[in-house]
Structure formats: C-alpha cells, structure tokens
Structure 1
Amino acid sequence: MDNHTLETAHPPKFIAVEGPIGVGKSSLAKKLAASFSCDLALEKADENPFLEHFYTHTNQSALPVQLHFLTERAKQWNELSQNELFSTGVVADFMLEKDRLFAKLTLTDEEYKLYDQMYQSLAIQTTKADLVVYLQAPVNTLQSRIRKRGIKHEKNISGEYLQKLSNAYTEFFHHYDSGPLLIVNASDINPVDNDEDYEQLLKHICSTRAGRHYLNPLPIL
C-alpha cells in the first residue's frame, strides 16, 4: 500500500495492538506508526523492576509487578486519552484492560482485592481505541518468537503460563464489544516480517470501522 493509498484510506485515529507475550505487538505497533506517520505509545515493560524476579518466583513478585504495571499503564492511558484527539493519530501496543486480565491470572483473591482498591482509586480515563488489532498465535509460536528476541528474563516463561495467558486473551476478546475489533491469525500470517501479509493487514485496518473482523490465511487447495 503506497503513501497515496494510506493518505486516502484514513486509518483509525487511535489503534491498539494486543495479544499474548511474544506474539509481536510492539514490532507491529512500531511498523504501523511509521506507515501512518502517527505517534507511537509503547508500554514500558522493561522498566518494571519486579518483572525479572516474577518469572522465577511468581508467587513472591506477582503483586508488586502488577501494581507497578497498573500505575504506569494508567498514567500512559491517561496521557493518550488527553492527547490523542489533538495528534495526528496514535498506535499503542497495549490496552488498559489487559491489566486486569494479567492481575486475575497471577494474583491470589486477597491480592486481587488490594489491586482492585488501587485500581478504583486511580482517576483512569475511559477513552476507547478506534480499532483494536488482536494478534493470536499458538504457544509453540509464542515460545519460538520469545527465544528469537532473546530477552534474558523471558527465558523463564513457561509454556503453561503462556497457555493460560492465551486462554485469558481468547476469553476476553470473545466478549469484547467496546469497539471495532480485528482478530489476526499471527501464526500463519506474519505482518511484521512479511511484506505481503503486512499490505493485507493495512487494507483491513483502513477499511474496518465497526464490528468484529478476522484476518486468516486462505486454505491451500
């Protein structure tokens, strides 16, 4: 898709890319922001001081890692909500709703009560993305991509945890109805590394204005 096509297609102003760890959210968000000449908002996972310990001692670090993510994501989301209407557009590699998804997955009942109290105490803006791009991939694909990018603390992420996380995402988006949703099979379609797949994705993004849509490869006959 050339620049003229992108200019006339008018992509959604606020795009959020979501999916489990290793699926390619950040890489795709960077590529989309460059294509649409808009702002990029990346969550700062590498700045969480508790994250590395979490992957080796989950029970000990789940609450501090989640509270740190909550405060940082809430701050970023509030900034997006305040600024995106006045910008040339925004692509983010996270949704604020993902925070509760991770919290429910990792926290005990008592810890979640404390987390929820803190969540309720934050003045979080409720601006919704104009389009959510949800990337799906099986656990073996996620593990392969995690190994490929070689982040030290991620080597301890178990397949069991990734499966639970993938299931939680599937459940969340099964009920998602807050706006347009594009579900992408990111296992057989690789819009980050494959130009043809990326062009196909761009066309879907620029044409999706309402409802739930799917981007899957055509079967080989």
Structure 2
Amino acid sequence: MGAHFIVVEGAIGVGKTSVVERLAERMEARTVLEEWGQNPFLTPFYEGKPGAAFQIELFYLLSRYRQQQELTQRTLFERYTLSDYLFEKSKLFAYLNLDDSELLIYERLYAMLIEGVPRPDLVVYLQAPTEVLLRRIRTRGRPEEARLSEEYLAEVNRAYNHYFFHYTATPLLVVNTTDVDFAKRAEDVDDLLKQIRGMGKGTRYYVPLGSKR
C-alpha cells in the first residue's frame, strides 16, 4: 500500500474517530486525533455567544497546525499515520462561521500556516445524510453538542459534500456510511481496509458490506 499518511474526514457525527481507531489497530498505525474537547470556546460557540465563532476557529486552526507540525517529525519506526481530520477543514468551517472582517484576518493566518502542513497520501470521506448525523450525535451524548441545531448540521454537511465533490488534491475514497456502524462490525472495518489498500489515483465510491445486508 502506497498510502502512508491517511486522513479520514466527514461532517460532525459521522464517526471519523471510531474508524481511525479501528483501522489503526489493524495497521499498527500512529494516530493524530482532533483535540476537539480541549477547545474552551466550544460551548460558548454552540450557545451563540458573541465573538465565540472567531475564538473557536482560531483555537482549532492553531491546534491543528501544531499537530501537523509534529507529523513532520515522524520517526523511521512509524510506517503508517492515520488522522481524523484534514487541515483544510479549518477553512471550510471558517467560511461557515465567520463574518467578512473576521475572515480577512483568518485567511491571512491560514495562508501562512498551510504552507507548512504535510499533504496526506489518501483521504477517506465518510458520507451520511444529515438526519443520520444528528441521530449519531444525539446517541453519543456529548454535552458540548447539546445545542447543535439540525439547520447548522445541514449547512456543515452541504459544505463537506460540495468540498469533496470538487476535491482533487489527493486520491479520495468516498464511503457511504448511512447504514453501517464501523464501531460494531469488525467485518466492515476489514473490508474498508481492503478498499484503502486497493486505492489508486483519482476518486472511488464505496458502499460498505453492512449497507448491502
């Protein structure tokens, strides 16, 4: 398999971290996981507090950049690295959440940081309808997400679908997760790993085994 740095992406609640953790077990891979819970502005943002959107986006941007810089120091003993986010998601959320004046500042900082971010060898995009995402979010029950609205989640989902419809930067595996739970079925994770190992150039669409039953 030529892909040594693999990113698993998708909208809020799709199950990125669960997939990364299960793939990492099979691949004996290093993981780089989003530090979402360490952002002190998360709850104020979902509560609609003034200024919280700019604060949350700057915090995430700098946190992701620090993690990505650590990736460049990968040792010879680490064959594979799996991450549950693509650095470019920072800009996607910024355009959803910030006003024009905030974006002006944000884009200048983003342009400086993106130059030092390593590019993945493969991106796996987990896709699901908004109602499925909302159900999964409610099931996992994170207090910080209690005020997350279906309308906002739909905006996020549309933004992700639009972004990856036009994505050409790396090979892309689009996975329909509507009827599959990778956390519950080992067979589905094994089959996903086969798809990853068989990836070449371009974009491939994949419906997991669990969705076919």
1:170 and 2:161 equivalent? yes
Alignment partner, residue 38 of structure 1: 29
Distance in 2, Cα, partners of 1:12 & 1:94: 16
Deviations 1:116-165 (A, max 9, x none): 12223437424211111100111111111111111101011100111100
Aligned match of 2:46: 55
Aligned partners of 1:100 and 1:65: how far apart in 2?
12
Aligned to 1:133: 124
Q: Which runs of 5+ in 2 are unaligned?
A: none
Aligned twin of 2:187? 196
Alpha carbons of structure 1 residues 19 and 85: separation in structure 2 relative to 1, 3 Å = farther
SS at match of 2:169: coil
Match among 79, 82, 97 for residue 73 of structure 2? 82
Q: Which amino acid aligns with 1:192?
A: A
Q: Which whole-Å CA distance do the structure 2 matches of 1:201 and 1:112 have between them?
A: 37
3-state DSSP of counterpart to 1:214: strand
3-state SS of paired residue (2:120): coil
In structure 2, what is the equivalent of residue 207 of structure 1? Answer: 198
C-alpha distance in 2, partners of 1:84/1:134? 27
DSSP-derived class of the 1:18 partner:
strand
Q: 2:102 aligns with which of 80, 88, 111?
A: 111
Kindly indicate whether the alpha-carbon contact (under 8 Å) linking 1:131 and 1:209 is maintained by their aligned counterparts in 2: no
Q: TM-score, normalised by structure 2?
A: 0.92
> C-alpha displacement at 1:84, in angstroms?
6.7
Q: Quote the residue 1:148 is aligned against.
A: 139
Change (3 A) 1:184 1:111: same
Q: Deviations over 1:7-60 (max 9, x none)?
A: xxx362111000000000011111111110010110101000001110011653
Distance 1:30 1:11, change over 3 A: farther
User: Residue 178 of structure 2 aligns with which residue?
Assistant: 187
TM-fit CA distance, 1:85: 6.7
Alignment partners' CA distance in 2, 1:41 and 1:204 = 21
Given the two structures, how large is their TM-score scaled by the length of structure 1?
0.89
Q: Distance in 2 between matches of 1:86 and 1:110?
A: 45
Measure how far apart 1:212 and its partner are.
0.3
Distance 2:3 2:124 in 1: 11
Instruction: Find the aligned partners of 2:114 and 2:41 in 1 and give their Cα distance.
Output: 24
* Segment drifting more, 197-206 vs 21-30: 197-206
- 1:114 shift after superposition: 1.1
Given the alignment of the two structures, is residue 100 of structure 1 paired with residue 60 of structure 2, yes or no?
Answer: no
% same residue: 40
Q: Secondary structure at the match of 2:12?
A: coil
CA spacing shift, 1:196–1:42, aligned 2, 3 Å: same
What is the aligned residue count? 212
Instruction: For 1:216 and 1:173, locate their aligned partners in 2 and report how far apart those are by CA, in whole Å.
Output: 17
Q: Which letter maps to 1:194?
A: R
Question: Does the 8 Å contact 1:23/1:136 carry over to 2?
Answer: yes
Superposed CA deviations along residues 166-191 of structure 1, whole A, max 9, x for unmatched, are 11001111111111100000112332
CA positional deviation for 1:197: 1.9
Change (3 A) 1:188 1:106: same
5+ residue gaps, structure 1, are 1-9
